[in-house]
Amino acid sequence: MGVQGLLPFVSSASTEVSLEDYRGQTLACDASVWLHRGAISCARELAEGEPAVGFLRFPLRMIALLKRHGVRPLIVFDGGAMPMKARVDAARAADRESAKARGEFNKTVKITAAMTQQLIERLRQDGVEFVVAPFEADSQLAFLVQHGHAAAALTEDSDLLAYRCPSVLFKLSESGHARRITFAGLQHAQDSKGQLLFDGAWEGEWAAWEGGLFVAMCIMAGCDYLPSVPGVGVATAHKALRAGRTVERALAKLHSKRSGPPAPVAAEAYLLRALGL
DNA sequence: ATCGAGTGGATAT
DNA sequence: TCCACTCGAT
Ligand SMILES: [Mn+2]
């Protein structure tokens, strides 16, 4: 899921880059999207339990693409299931079941531990480095970049920005080009009218976003771990935080303007605890 | 304007 | 594992 609507919201902060820009460097690669895309090529076989290895082709091709540009791939796999993500996991399992009933095999694709293990065996043979994250790959990718083990993360997941990953590459194409968003670059993100989103409204505004408001915005707009607040997306969360300048005042503002059923209390409690407030 | 639910898509020839 | 797009509701 990621943070719904976040990438379009901050797209002005993205720049076109080439893998050539990372020649001689390491990129931490999100294995899950590559595996899913690969699995589509043999979705029916996988759905019917037939032996299949075709799903390996796409990830191996992407690794070859990186190597061709002199980039060292560090493949990051999802590890254990996150207890807090059980709600989303259950919803996806139900979606897969109904898709199977309708014969839409593309939507039944589930990456199993056995499939992950097959790719890992190939990586071992090929001498490609990899790590298995304790839980989701998202936070592991951010960690690797934050600590200098990789120059950037290569993924499709907007959650990497919520995890404050310093540099993220999205939408890699066969030509070796991608869109890069750096966390620091968010300071210059603009709205459609050219106005800065996270700086310039008051003295030191960017420092406040960098120091926690941006993460709070992502959580308020909805994450996989909590039921989202109805009617609040990225834009509304951004406006409330900008007007309130603190999470507490932003939440109070949203409460006061709220119509309809009361907002879930649990989400707010978790948010405040997550932010240490 | 903004949200969110629904739909379609990612492969490969 | 995710995203982009459309469209009705608010
Ligand atoms: Mn994620």
For A52-79, give the DSSP string. Answer: --GGGHHHHHHHHHHHHTT-EEEEEE--
Ligand 1 centroid – CA A4 distance (Å): 11
Contact A198, A161 (CB under 8 A): no
Q: What is the pLDDT of residue A95?
A: 85
Please give, chain by chain, protein residues whose CB is below 7 Å from any atom of strand C: A 1-4, 6-8, 32-33, 36, 78, 89, 92, 111, 136, 138, 156-159, 224
Longest pairwise C-alpha distance within chain A:
61
Contact A18, A66 (CB under 8 A): no
Q: Which residues pair with A190 in a beta bridge?
A: A196
Contacts of A90 (CB under 8 A, 6+ apart): none
Ligand 1 centroid – CA A199 distance (Å): 26
Residue nearest to nucleotide B3 (CA to C1'): A231
Q: What is the pLDDT of residue A253?
A: 82
**Burial label, A250 (beta-carbon count in 10 A; 0-12, 13-18, 19+):** buried
Q: Phi and psi dihedrals of A22, rounded to 5?
A: -115, 15
Ligand 1 centroid – CA A3 distance (Å): 8
Residues of each domain in chain A carrying CATH 3.40.50.1010: 6-187
Q: What is the pLDDT of residue A179?
A: 98
d(CA A7, C1' C5) / Å:
14
Q: What is the pLDDT of residue A81?
A: 87
Pairing of strands A177-182, A167-170: antiparallel
Residues of each domain in chain A carrying CATH 1.10.150: 190-274
- Considering only CA atoms, give the Rg of chain A: 20
- Distance separating the N- and C-terminal Cα atoms of chain A: 26
Nucleotides of B under 7 A from a protein CB: 1-4, 9-12
> How many other CB atoms are there within 10 angstroms of residue A182's CB atom?
17
Contact A179, A169 (CB under 8 A): yes
Q: Which nucleotide is nearest to A61 (CA to C1')?
A: B11
pTM recorded for the entire structure? 0.94
Q: What is the pLDDT of residue A235?
A: 97
**ipTM (interface pTM):** 0.95
Q: Look at residue A253 and give its three-state secondary structure.
A: helix
CATH number for region A6-187? 3.40.50.1010
Does CATH place domain A190-274 in 1.10.150? yes
Q: What is the pLDDT of residue A98?
A: 82
Q: Phi and psi dihedrals of A58, rounded to 5?
A: -65, -50
d(CA A84, C1' C7) / Å:
32
Q: Which residues pair with A72 in a beta bridge?
A: A26
d(CA A14, C1' B8) / Å:
25
> How many other CB atoms are there within 10 angstroms of residue A235's CB atom?
14
Cα separation, A170 vs A173, in Å, equals 9
Contact A209, A193 (CB under 8 A): no
What's the sign of the alpha-carbon dihedral A93, A97, A100, A102?
A: negative
Mean pLDDT, consecutive 10-residue stretches, chain A (277 aa), reads 95 98 98 97 94 97 98 96 86 84 86 96 98 96 98 98 98 98 98 96 97 94 82 95 94 74 57 60
